[in-house]
Amino acid sequence: MANVTYDLLWRETMRDLLDMLELDPPQDQDEEEAFQHFSYLYIKYVQIYKNLEDCYDQHVHPQKRNDIKDVLEA
């Protein structure tokens, strides 16, 4: 894939990460609803991490690679 493709994937993944940070934790929910909520969060974070790893492996711009590495290590 072209570098543009991974740049778009990086932008989309960072947007997803910012959206995830804005999600509020469940309040006044029973155990089943809380479990479903945290399961969803876990799956989304794993998908975001996988996308960031793909971007890190394929990017050639050193500055962007460093930024992606910082996000992966955080």
pLDDT at 62: 84
Tokens of 30: 């029973």
pLDDT at 15 over 90: yes
pLDDT at 1 over 80: no
Segment (H or E) for 38: helix 31-58
pLDDT tens readout for residues 26-55: 677 788 888 888 898 899 999 999 999 988
Q: Tokens 């309040």 correspond to what residue?
A: 27
Instruction: Give yes or no for a contact between 3 and 59, defined as CB atoms under 8 angstroms apart.
Output: yes
